[in-house]
Structure 1
Amino acid sequence: MSKPRHDWVGGNRLELLENGEAYYPRVLEEIARAQKEIFVETFILFDDKVGKPFQQALIAAAQRGLRVELTVDGYGSANLTPEFIAEMTDVGIGFHVYRPQPKIMGVRTNLFRRLHRKLVVIDGRLAFVGGINISHDHIADYGEGSKQDYAVEVEGPVVRDIHRFCELSVAKHAMKTQTRQRWWQRKRAAPPAPHLQPVGSARAMFVVRDNERHHDDIERQYRHAIKAARQRIVIANAYFFPGFRLLRNLRDAARRGVDVTLILQGKPDMWYVKWVAENLYEYLMKAGVTIYEYCERPLHAKVAVIDDRWATVGSSNLDPLSLYLNLESNLVFDDAAFNQHLASRLQNLMHNSCRKVEWTAIPKRDIRRQLFNFVTYHLGRRFPAWVGWRPAHAAGLGQTKPDTRAVGDQRQNPGGMESAEPGTSGRL
């Protein structure tokens, strides 16, 4: 395996944000303090008790004269009303939709290649990266379906990379809607980001997965860290069904004496999630991997700690959609303090809200499960690419006007998983 394709950037300050209770107040506070511009990418934006205040905060920022660019996914945010969108576009917010497609007989057809990233960048100086959508179901008072998840607030030189990525994404989408541009206009790059002074000691790396040049970058980061591990690996992941290479790396790490622990869904938000993951239990536990199932509520986490310095927080699950199809982003860290803090939070989760999977509780590998494993590992890895080939070659998305069609009010995420590479211009 070749070397990672990204560089470490030092001098950053990090703060872990657990669940919507910590995440939303900080984001809204920084939006209110913003002075120049705000970039937001999210899979889900709902018109609910979380999404509405967020929308109003962006509107207030635009009314103060700030540049505001909001990109949502055409599947995850499909049921936003025209009125909700118009309130933003009427004050000049750049509202973009990744792969909007009309419903057929009330059913959404854009099932694959989702914009699954969750990014907020304020004034090019501060960023939020993680797995938390903008919706009520990330707060505990939502009820039994509320999600357990994480994000990170980062300040320092690595924000330049995140800011430039968001700037180029919006510019790329806009250019693809302007077909009459001259070639020198189409190649124009985004303006340079402001120079950021070191504000901390943490090294960080911004890593994305897309369907152009970065097909497997996030998986590579995981695999390099797992292969180099000597002490411990703790992975908390909502949708766990990685490719065989990553599974083999985990097995090999456990066999050479590394303490490998997985925290997976025990109370899943979709029926098949636990059944799919259980097909891997025997293979992993035979090698000495310890598995916990989080049973308090649905686990939505995409985080990991390895040894005493490496950690990651982001949007990428370890499943075929995230690893081979969706558009994802993770921050990877080399910092002892952040590693220790995230590890302590995961330990608290294991001890207070999880059950340990015992060998006697592993489902028997009947013919159905064996057939499922065979089909999945020999065909499943390539299936997303086959199904999503045409969407990967679609045109770019652009600023969107509100639709005049009546749409329903969505309160849940039927797809469960989230994921921008350019998509089509259009309307929700």
Structure 2
Amino acid sequence: MDIDLVNPDFYANGGIPHEQFRWLRENAPVYRHHGDGAGETDFWAITRFDDVVHVSRHPEIFSSREKLALFPEPSEDQLAMQRMMMLNQDPPEHTRKRSIVNRGFTPRTIGKLEDHIRAICDGLIDEVAGRGEADFVHDISAPLPLYVICELLGAPPEDREKIFDWSNRLIAQDDPDYRAPEDDGMAAATELYAYANELAVRRREEPRDDIVTKLLQQHGGEELSVDEFDLFVMLLTVAGNETTRNAASGGMLAFFENPAQWQRLLDERAAGGDRLAGTFPDEIVRWVSPVNLFKRTAMKDTEIRGQRIAEGDKVVVFYSSANRDEGVFADPYSFDVGRDPNPHIGFGGGGPHFCLGAHLARLELRVLFETLLARMPGITQTGDARRLRSNFINGIKEMPVRFAT
């Protein structure tokens, strides 16, 4: 089989290359993948669940900091600044940073957002109810996390379009719909840093009950530097937007393609039950795997499944493959809203980089689909879903829908 796991055209035209991943899990789960000869270096593709977890839980062997966590090879001038971002750190530095930001993401703190998220979802449906049709991404799944991010940051809701634009420009450099001419993402980063600085100034002058105020406060002698704060705002803006938006869009597409699962939720709702409300958000995340991959760098010679990996080698873990691993999931190619247990790694494979916003993402997905079930039970797809040209984010850019409310 011809293997190419990183050509963004494949993802734009067909989504996740599941047939390639299936073949690799069975025949070459630790696979030496060749680069393109144009700056992309060779790497080890890790496709089985247990191996992705192993790499994720051993940062002392597989570093996020050495050559950063995103797939493209960084330039030397990018390394110093990007290494201040949690995404690109290893313990103990990452542990220090995480202990500071964790206080804004406790289950109790996130749980207090439920009523607000429900009001956002109702408001989004109110805005399209009279039309009878909408673009699911632009009108529903994209605005939801943007409103929530504004709430977390204490930013005005009208700033959501700026945040949406910055996030797209930072994350979708391979997609011509989002890439600005001659823009490598640095302009968006600069604009976002300036925005974060303005937020910080306002919160120092007028503290509020929001995550920005919490992050700016000193706790036990520890606080974030200006650059660390700016980079965290950028991480929150991108991670909190892209993953939830694309999980919601991909989840809706999964229901369109598996209408019996939508009917299961409708039937349980009609009967007054709520068991599936506790399982369907995780099945959406497993099925969609909104983040396809992350990169690590081997810090010493090591082995995975007997395959020798040399110090300095590039190692790429594929969550979308691990979440279809036949050795872990029964009938993994079936979308099952009642799947239990569901040990997916759509929020990361454990270890220090487990998704900080997992509780928030589950809450947003649950409330959004509960609202859709209540107010748009007959929602249907009326045109093709246009996919993002990206090997990093499993995204949908447009998906036209029709409904009655």
TM-score interval, normalised by the smaller of the two chains:
under 0.3
Flag the structure with higher helix content.
Answer: 2
Flag the structure with higher strand content.
Answer: 1
Structure having greater relative contact order (Cα 8 Å, sep ≥ 6): 2
The normalised TM-score by structure 2 is: 0.26
The normalised TM-score by structure 1 is: 0.25
